[in-house]
Structure 1
């Protein structure tokens, strides 16, 4: 039989899974108390047992704060930085985007989705790539969408305002000076990259947020928080979101092998995967 704290931790874990699909494994439960410390202070409590009691109380009204959402937000890992995993990211401007450009030369339109974009650095990194190749992409329509299950992260992404520490993670001095203005509140991203980027809250397990499939989907370091069953469901959602001749980009060290039959690895392109037209009859993959 579980003691009260164990039962309370399980309730918190179930809440996170229900809202986000993320699985709070035993190895991750050690950080629950530290992640929730701010909520404990705000409500004058000291442990998860008391928190669960508060969660069981009805909300005062529809306009009152949603404690359960605050708990979920606190437990989410929003770790990110500009041009994360640079060797992998460098494949975009030098290999992947040029190939997509040749496939979309007639339409001159590219749509890219960053699923689990956190506070926006990944989307703005993409915007900077396109801005740095302005002549190459002249006349093109570039659509960059970032989504995250966290409202708090999406608000931060939309603001485009970052601390000194955040802009120094992944950005060179030249990029900082070209694409950001230093303000009293932090480093504000400039209009050129900002106007390409759009953000909205979205759960990866819901139908994809585009009007049509995307040419490129980035879903990096998100699926590792799902259990095997939920991860398979997420891959199904991602498969419906990627154009038949588009690409899926996962995090460094992540793979589809043994996880799903909806994608296959791209030869000689680490962390990039192609959708299979028919999972029962895999198509031949292009070399590249």
Structure 2
């Protein structure tokens, strides 16, 4: 790809999605956009970029979606979901006992594995949650990837990555080479197309936010902005999950690490910093 074309497309991506691509990542741009160029009937990347430069909104959107669709899999890294089941959920049940409701947000949820993993955990805790109203919202910038998430159909390879066999058998139905999630789990998750750089207020308030392996693609000012916006949606005792390679330190004063719970952050103005501590 020509240097000036790379600069133009990378600027577009940052403006529309927050994704930052340095010049050493030109190979990534080419590997993601060549299939899109062929699929869209262009002779090559030059013609694709020409359409982008003409401000063809359909092509612009397709380019952003091609570059921001990230890999996901069920129960990714395991520990965050163990923490949710054994620490975060019990605290939620205690803190929300009066109103018997809470909301969870899976930001940049890709093809749905993360929110569906959370839904399965909650389904397994069914007896404790009788009479509770629970909402799980999964958002992503890509309309195409959300279609896959809503369909809830995954290949053998996709369900083999992280999915416990007991849950696969219990909550999925196999047809040919694919597995489709049970309607009882699918109905627990609402999927919405949303840009993290936009106004988040309309999403409402959330007690738990999963934003894992997303901030690593943003520059520091964008990280700070997104975290500030998220904090505005969270009550004082809410918690935020980030990926293992991510942190709020030196980036945002809206959150603080929860001692002893790697990857979980408390709202700085609140009291969840004692989450999981004796008597906390």
Q: Decide: shared fold, TM above 0.5.
A: yes
Deviation of 1:11 (Å): 0.8
Q: Match for residue 41 of structure 1? A: 38
Does residue 1:207 correspond to 2:199, yes or no? yes
Higher helix share: 2
Query: Unmatched 5+ residue regions in structure 1?
Result: 60-64
Counterpart pick for 2:8 among 11, 16, 40: 11
1:94 to 1:24, Cα distance in 2 relative to 1, 3 A:
same
Q: Match for residue 286 of structure 1? A: 274
Aligned equivalents of 1:71 and 1:228: distance in 2?
A: 23
Aligned equivalents of 2:130 and 2:68: distance in 1?
A: 38
Q: Which runs of 4+ in 1 moved over 4 A?
A: none
Q: Match for residue 99 of structure 2? A: 107
Aligned equivalents of 1:258 and 1:180: distance in 2?
A: 42
Deviation of 1:252 (Å): 1.4
What does 1:188-227 correspond to in 2, within 5 Å?
188-208=180-200, 212-227=204-219
Query: Unmatched 5+ residue regions in structure 2?
Result: none
1:107 to 1:36, Cα distance in 2 relative to 1, 3 A:
same
Q: Would you say the 8 A contact 2:69–2:142 is kept in 1?
A: no
Deviation of 1:209 (Å): 5.4
Deviation of 1:30 (Å): 1.9
Deviation of 1:185 (Å): 6.4
CA RMSD of superposed structures (Å): 1.8
Paired residues, number: 275
Counterpart pick for 2:239 among 237, 240, 247: 247
Q: Match for residue 139 of structure 1? A: 131
What does 1:73-92 correspond to in 2, within 5 Å?
73-92=65-84
Aligned equivalents of 1:261 and 1:80: distance in 2?
A: 28
Deviation of 1:87 (Å): 1.7
Q: Would you say the 8 A contact 1:116–1:148 is kept in 2?
A: yes
Q: Higher mean Cα deviation, 112-121 or 74-83? A: 74-83
Does residue 1:233 correspond to 2:230, yes or no? no
Deviation of 1:210 (Å): 5.2
Deviation of 1:211 (Å): 5.5
Deviation of 1:253 (Å): 2.5
Aligned equivalents of 1:31 and 1:58: distance in 2?
A: 22
TM-score, L = length of structure 2: 0.93
